[in-house]
Amino acid sequence: MGAVGGGAAFQSALRRAATALDWVSVETLGVLAVLTVGAGLRRYRAETDPDRAANGARNPVRAYFAMLGLTALNPATLAYFTALVLGHQSTQSSSTTGTSTTLRIAFAIAVFGASALWQLLLVAGGAGLGHVARGGRGQLIVAVVSGAVMAGLALQLALS
């Protein structure tokens, strides 16, 4: 019963702080939008070497393994995968045969494979976008669109 009472008190405290947290979020998104567009404009104006973007481009294979490693080290991802595996184990706990272990291993491998495939899709999309946005004008467009999306999210949150 203590958990229910504690949860209700926590929810009440969060409800009181929600308005302040919403405004902090609006301000943060607004600042990020302005900084993103400003940085894009500065890069566009300062661009003197057309090969600068090509020389600074990351190797897609390195980018893939960097993203995969960051995902593997992310505590939220680890908790999510652990919950998936444990949840799957609890549904399989009634089975005492050796196939349940095989199914758990297959499930864990499938979850990892799906995550790795998603990371590959993200890196491929990023590499494609990087190829298009290699020049100063492309980077400026990406910065302005990113800033507009953040500003739109801030505005939506402020109006809700």
Q: Write down the pLDDT at residue 93.
A: 54
pTM of the model: 0.48
Q: Write down the pLDDT at residue 58.
A: 58
Are 123 and 5 spatial neighbours (Cβ–Cβ below 8 Å)? Answer: no
Element (H, E) at 95: none
Is residue 29 predicted with pLDDT exceeding 70?
Answer: yes
pLDDT, tens digit (0-9, with 9 covering 90-100), for 94-140:
555 556 777 777 877 887 788 788 888 888 887 777 777 777 788 88
* Runs of H (alpha helix) within the chain: 2-46, 52-55, 60-73, 75-92, 99-132, 136-159
Q: Write down the pLDDT at residue 112.
A: 79
**Angle, helix 60-73 to helix 75-92, in steps of 10 degrees:** 60
Q: How far is CA 80 from CA 13, 23, 87, 100, 155, in A?
A: 26, 29, 10, 21, 31
The average confidence (pLDDT) of the chain is: 76
Q: Write down the pLDDT at residue 53.
A: 46
Q: Write down the pLDDT at residue 148.
A: 95
Contacts 24+ apart (CB under 8 A), 94-100: none
